[in-house]
Amino acid sequence: MDTKQFKENLLLYGADINQWPEKIRQSGMKALGSSPEYRALQEDHDSFEKMLKTRRFEEPADNFAQRVISASLQQRQKAPFSLGSFIEDMISEFRISKPALAVLSFVTVLVLTIGLTVGFLYPSMTSVSNNAEETNLQAFLFDEGDVI
């Protein structure tokens, strides 16, 4: 039995090896007798089980439910929405460090500037109309002198 199996059996069946199923009890006893590491694991688990047995369940206070409800209602009463607080909440939620935030801001401004520059230097050619297209449009709208 290796250490992993021994730990799993301790968790499943407890620190008292005599209470383990017969199939694994003998190998557990051999492992316990052969290694001080296994004995230390068994003693540690035994002290953990004793601590669990001595703990008492404490009843919640009578006003526990009321305290939980009032605390949740107090959290709902936040300040009205503002864009600045929303951005601060988003930044704090993603936990972006200040140097990374500065780099991200710089890259965003740079990309927007390049995009606007390219857009103004090379305007779209589809917005410029042709005289032939205008003539075809007029021919379409005026069919034999009647307006469609």
Distance CA 92, CA 79 (A): 17
Q: What is the pLDDT of residue 126?
A: 55
Give, as one character, the DSSP assignment of residue 20: S
Q: What is the pLDDT of residue 144?
A: 60
In a domain, 67, yes or no: no
In a domain, 148, yes or no: no
In a domain, 30, yes or no: yes
Q: Per residue in 42-98, pLDDT tens? A: 999 999 999 888 887 778 888 888 888 888 777 655 667 788 888 887 777 777 778
In a domain, 29, yes or no: yes
In a domain, 11, yes or no: yes
Give the residue numbers spanning the domain of 23. 3-54
Output the pTM of the full model.
0.38
How many domains in the chain?
1
